[in-house]
Amino acid sequence: MAVKRYDNRLGIKGWLWAGKYPLERYFYSLQRLTGLGILLFLLLHLVETSYRIYGKGPWEATMAFFDTPLFLSLEYVVFAALIFHGLNGLRLILEEMGYLLGKPGRPVFPYVSSRQRQRPVIWVIGLTIVGLLLITAWDMFLA
Amino acid sequence: MASDIRVRVFRFNPEEKAEPRFDLFSVPYSKGMTILDCLIYIKEHLDSTLAFRSSCRMGICGSCGVMVNGFPHLACHTQVSELGTDRLELRPLANYDVIKDLVVDLTPLFNKHKMVKPYLISPQLTADHVREFAQTPLELERYLQFSYCVKCGLCIAACPTCATDKQFLGPQALAQVFRYNMDSRDVGSKDRIQVIDQPHGLWRCHLAGACSDVCPKGVDPALAIQLLKRSVVGSWLGLTKRNVPRLVEEQEKQAPADAPKAPPLSV
């Protein structure tokens, strides 16, 4: 007789919700979310630019449709996603090749993990992202 | 800390048709009390039907992993005082099937561990001849940290990739691949890379680092996995150095006559 089990797999919530985990875990979720967001934007972008084949009139109508404060704000969100995904992606490429994480050693309590050793990199990346977002916001909305 | 702590415990009984529920218990607090002490108190004084695993009570056996306020901990290894709250919610480890209450089925963990060949592979190791390998302290340092794994499974409960991918090998098994591949006595890295270099293997790790945060033994699986990625890429490019196991007896033959000898094997 099959024994009844309760499936305790967290599923999508498990990778989306970082809960009490540190900053790097939030970067993981954001990296995936921004990746999906950029992919969605790419599909919309292809649809939008495809209107050019219908001639000048439909193309200009499409451009006018997107020329609103709402879509300007969404464009900023896309740009923010690109900045985050790109810069954090560079960090991940380096770290996934074993750089910036330190070397294995004897585990002596209190343990210092590779995640803690690379924390300065997270701060540098984070501050760079914030700086670029501010410059972009100024350029798009204030300049 | 209050004199009593309120403990909400996840309850699931496979013999009942009812859905899982939470039971609330009030446990008298004492200094140095661990989560496991709470569970033992509940079982001895409040509800003898509560099911949980424990054995050594000193963070060695890896039996008593539970989710405490949404974070994986070894119950024996975690004092109530370090959580900074007198309200606890205890759930079974995430990303496993629950057998009863706080007892999860760790079979997938052990199956994946077995899959990656977690033992020394060397032609010099034969069943009829016990032999001793030479290994420098530096060679030992390369893998020692990752050999402290107690297979408690907390890393899998923390891993966001394991949350969505049932077939992902997980941090525990992948860290053990690196541990054995880095061992100077081992020549089985090609066999292990064949197992992990697949869609649900090594490349599904996207470095959340949660496994290293929850590891109660300081194993740092995240570090092992990233270094493993580097070594696998290196092996594709033919850049990694192969292990060359050295037997003590052979090394002694080549040593000067006045060099100190290893003590005889007593097996």
Q: Which two tokens stand for residue B240?
A: 């990694």
Q: Which two tokens stand for residue A46?
A: 């292809």
- Asked whether the beta carbons of residue A14 and residue B223 sit closer than 8 angstroms, the reply is no
Return the amino acid letter for B236.
W
CA triplet B257, B260, B262: central angle to 5 degrees? 115
**Smallest Cα–Cα separation from B90: which of B67, B113, B115?**
B67
pLDDT confidence tier of residue B251, bands split at 50, 70 and 90: confident
CA B28 to chain centre: 32
Residues of B in contact with A4 (CB under 8 A): 14-15
Closest residue, chain A, to B95 (C-alpha): A9
- Asked whether the beta carbons of residue A92 and residue B143 sit closer than 8 angstroms, the reply is no
Ramachandran assignment for B33, one of left (phi > 0), alpha (psi -120 to 50 degrees), beta (any other): beta
Nearest to A15 among B69, B141, B161 (CB): B161
Average pLDDT, chain A: 93
- What's the rounded Cα separation, in Å, for the pair B77 and B63? 11
- Asked whether the beta carbons of residue B158 and residue A92 sit closer than 8 angstroms, the reply is no
The shortest C-alpha distance from B144 to chain A (Å) reads 7
Output DSSP code: residue B44: I
- What's the rounded Cα separation, in Å, for the pair B21 and B14? 12
Q: How many helices (H) and strands (E) does chain B have?
A: 10, 9
pLDDT confidence tier of residue B9, bands split at 50, 70 and 90: very high
Nearest to A14 among B92, B94, B209 (CB): B94
Q: Is the pLDDT of residue B267 over 60?
A: no
Q: Which two tokens stand for residue B40?
A: 């033992």
A96-129 tens-digit pLDDT: 999 999 999 999 999 999 999 999 999 999 999 9
Output DSSP code: residue A106: -
CB B13 within 8 A of CB B25: no
More confident residue, A3 or A91: A91
3 state DSSP class of A112: coil
**How, if at all, do strands B97-100 and B103-104 pair?**
antiparallel
Q: What is the pLDDT of residue A2?
A: 65
- Asked whether the beta carbons of residue B105 and residue A5 sit closer than 8 angstroms, the reply is yes
- Asked whether the beta carbons of residue B94 and residue A9 sit closer than 8 angstroms, the reply is yes
Mean pLDDT of A48-63: 89
**How, if at all, do strands B71-74 and A6-7 pair?**
unpaired
> In this structure, what are the phi and psi dihedrals at residue B77, rounded to the nearest 5 degrees?
-100, -5
**Smallest Cα–Cα separation from B79: which of B33, B36, B38?**
B33
Instruction: List Cβ<8 Å contacts ≥24 apart for B48-53.
Output: B49/B13, B50/B9, B50/B11, B50/B101, B50/B102, B51/B99, B51/B100, B51/B101, B51/B102, B51/B103, B52/B101, B52/B102, B52/B103, B53/B102, B53/B103
Mean pLDDT of A22-30: 95
Average pLDDT, chain B: 93
Q: What is the pLDDT of residue B246?
A: 86
Mean pLDDT of A69-85: 94
Nearest to B97 among A5, A19, A105 (CB): A5
B240 CB near a chain A CB, below 8 Å? Answer: no
B5 CB near a chain A CB, below 8 Å? Answer: no
Nearest to A95 among B15, B104, B226 (CB): B226
Q: What is the pLDDT of residue B266?
A: 63
| Chain B interface test: which of A1, A20, A21 (most B C-beta within 10 Å) | A21
